[in-house]
Structure 1
Amino acid sequence: MSGPKAEITSVLVTGGAGFIGSHLCQELLRLGRRVVILDNLNEFYASSLKLANLAAVRASAAAGRLAVLKGDIRSAADLERAFRALGDPQQGAVVHLAAMAGVRPSIEQPQLYHDVNIGGTLQVLEACRRFGVMRLVFASSSSVYGNNEKVPFAESDAVDYPISPYAATKKAGELLCHNYHHLYDISVACLRFFTVYGPRQRPDLAIHKFARLMRAGKPIPFFGDGTTRRDYTYITDTLQGVTGALEWLSGQSRPGYEIFNLGESRTVDLSTLVRLLGEALGCRPALERLPMQPGDVERTFADISKARATLGYDPQVAIEEGIGRFVDWFRNQG
């Protein structure tokens, strides 16, 4: 069956009040698209921060270009409101970002992560089928690679051994997306994000948490010996990948299903990250040395050749520049 060829003019963003979601909504509005946000504003971190994110999005929106709905992706009724607000399904797409995030909390609350990340994704896919919205971007995670020995991580690598419930839910989400692509001709781009950071980053994530503790003169939790490595990706580069995926979906003449890594294709060890952050803040970090945590991977490292070739993905912001930009924003928050 031929896939949809119509230009994407309206986008439903689940989790649009979050860190990545709010930045994406602003970018989509800048590109002239109409945006519908569905977010339940939960208290995984302070809802006041999400409301501030929404205020920034609203400030970017022309009249009639933005609809913000409070609702839960596990609720068929809430999704129905959001999909009806999207309008013409032939010109619509969904970017599904909403999820319970974080590796360590998923070990403490595996049932909640299963319900939201797997059950909620199934409800989103069912709504796509019911309302005829045939283009979906699914936010996956580099955590699906587990402790993969082969580097850099490529989309063709086996990802059968996740080491946290969170990672397992993201792998399950990719599989559900493939089910609905195969059964109902929904075109899907699964994007494996690699440690996204930048202004408005969630306060529980390392860079933001470390900066807050350093400014207060408190020691930072330093897990392991400092040699764990991450492929940090600045928010504007991640946005470039997401909008590239929407363009790819818009251009498909037949239904497609692909997985893409969105990273910087460079790894930075924990000791270097802390040093860069301390230098940018003008302080000497104090460390609270702790053992490695269950579920934490030893390294992430993205092979981005597929995203470069297919999506035109071309990350620009190196960690040194990105940390400086983050600290500028952080200081302005008081």
Structure 2
Amino acid sequence: MKKRFRILVTGSAGFIGHHLMLALQRAGHHTVGLDALNNYYDPKLKFRRLQEQGFNTEEIKYDTLLSNSTLHGSYFIQLDLADAPALQQLFKAQAFDIVINLAAQAGVRHSIDHPEQYVASNLVGFANILECCRRNRIKHLLFASSSSVYGLNQDIPFSTSHRTDEPISFYAATKKANEVMAHSYAHLYSLPITGLRFFTVYGPWGRPDMAYYIFSKAIVEGKPIRIFNYGDMLRDFTYVDDVVEGVMQLLDVKPATGKAPYKLYNIGNNQPEQLMEAVAILERLLQRKAKLDLHPIQPGDVRATFADVEDLALETGFKPQTSLREGLSKFIDWFKMYHKINEVHALQEG
């Protein structure tokens, strides 16, 4: 049996965080999920995810987690990473082995109008995580980066050896900053850190601001869907279970020591798909034609993403298992259940 760790997952009520918490619970690890539960999108979805994880969100006991280091099992705490004193208290009380930082203000387009939210969460919050990990001698910090860091890079497929100093959104800039901040802590304090560049993650319990979710909702409601760059977009769609498997495989793989115990990995499907193919699959699954509203490419967007995952495959044997058709089918099954879509395609909130 693999060793069981005490693990903190930040952003645990988010999309990837939710699926990762379920996987960690199944594997028998002792987990604490942390989330600010902000209203970037409907918090109702976040609370439903927490319920699926087995938490009664009306009975969250903050003091227990902040003062008792003998807890085992799975727990949740609502906490903002910008609250440095409370975060430090949590780290001292729970003596984590591993920290997986998925908490961040998400959304490329949202960052154009609200950059201050990204400073507070993605920069200040991440700095607080780094400092807590240093002070409490965490054995391994894994953190979410993004394929958006590749920015204006034209080399395909994207490799972690490529330059990433030309971000085209402020969200991407904060993720690039996270990577640089993490490297400095790994170098200065010998803190083992692994960065995870996720590529267009999709699946059940997904974020309502993601394209595949927006498209599905619009198709059901008979409304036009906005397609940018006139549909000429390639995305390395990666099913959430494949992403989680990649993360799980890396839990016990610490970066080799050297100038810094630090390593970056792409976690993607390694097979980009045309955006219009995703639309066609959704049409077939929902048995409705999409009404297309075509536009030029918008600020912050890149035409194509394509992950080179050779490093991850060599280290862990990682190989994505889920085709776009299979993954979108699973998403639509959940989408219909969550929104209680009946035969006439009435859409309700979950």
TM bucket normalised to smaller: over 0.9
What per-residue deviation string (whole Å, max 9, x for no partner) do you get for residues 184-237 of structure 1? 111111000000000000011011111111111111111121111110000000
Which residue of 1 is the match for residue 300 of structure 2? 295
Amino acid at match of 1:229: L
Deviation at 1:47, TM superposition (A): 1.1
Q: Paired residue for 1:11, among 7, 14, 22? A: 7
Q: Paired residue for 2:115, among 101, 106, 110? A: 110
Higher RCO (C-alpha under 8 Å, 6+ residues apart): 1
Unaligned runs of 5+ in 1: 1-5
| Whole-angstrom distance in 1 between the partners of 2:9 and 2:325 | 30
Q: Paired residue for 1:38, among 34, 41, 58? A: 34
Amino acid at match of 1:174: E
Q: Paired residue for 1:154, among 159, 169, 172? A: 159
| Whole-angstrom distance in 2 between the partners of 1:204 and 1:105 | 10
Amino acid at match of 2:13: A
Which residue of 2 is the match for residue 75 of structure 1? 83
Paired residues of 2:231 and 2:276 also in contact (CA < 8 A): yes
1:56 and 2:64 aligned: no
Which residue of 1 is the match for residue 277 of structure 2? 272
Q: How do 1:40-189 and structure 2 match up within 5 A?
A: 40-58=36-54, 64-87=72-95, 89=96, 92-189=97-194
What per-residue deviation string (whole Å, max 9, x for no partner) do you get for residues 111-147 of structure 1? 2212210111111000111112131001000000013
Paired residues of 1:13 and 1:36 also in contact (CA < 8 A): yes
Tell me, what secondary structure is at the counterpart of 1:225? helix
| Whole-angstrom distance in 2 between the partners of 1:282 and 1:85 | 52
Paired residues of 2:228 and 2:297 also in contact (CA < 8 A): yes
Which residue of 2 is the match for residue 218 of structure 1? 223
| Whole-angstrom distance in 2 between the partners of 1:164 and 1:278 | 31
Paired residues of 1:280 and 1:324 also in contact (CA < 8 A): yes
Which residue of 2 is the match for residue 3 of structure 1? none
1:306 and 2:314 aligned: no
Tell me, what secondary structure is at the counterpart of 1:138? strand
Unaligned runs of 5+ in 2: 57-70, 341-350
Deviation at 1:77, TM superposition (A): 2.0
Which residue of 1 is the match for residue 348 of structure 2? none
Q: 1:289 to 1:17 in 2, by over 3 A?
A: same
Paired residues of 1:107 and 1:165 also in contact (CA < 8 A): yes
Paired residues of 1:195 and 1:232 also in contact (CA < 8 A): yes
Tell me, what secondary structure is at the counterpart of 2:245? helix
| Whole-angstrom distance in 1 between the partners of 2:199 and 2:146 | 7
Tell me, what secondary structure is at the counterpart of 1:247? coil
| Whole-angstrom distance in 2 between the partners of 1:252 and 1:81 | 30
| Whole-angstrom distance in 1 between the partners of 2:54 and 2:90 | 17
TM-score between the two structures when normalised by the length of structure 2 = 0.89
Q: 1:129 to 1:225 in 2, by over 3 A?
A: same
Amino acid at match of 1:208: Y
| Whole-angstrom distance in 2 between the partners of 1:297 and 1:252 | 33
Amino acid at match of 1:14: T
| Whole-angstrom distance in 2 between the partners of 1:49 and 1:81 | 28
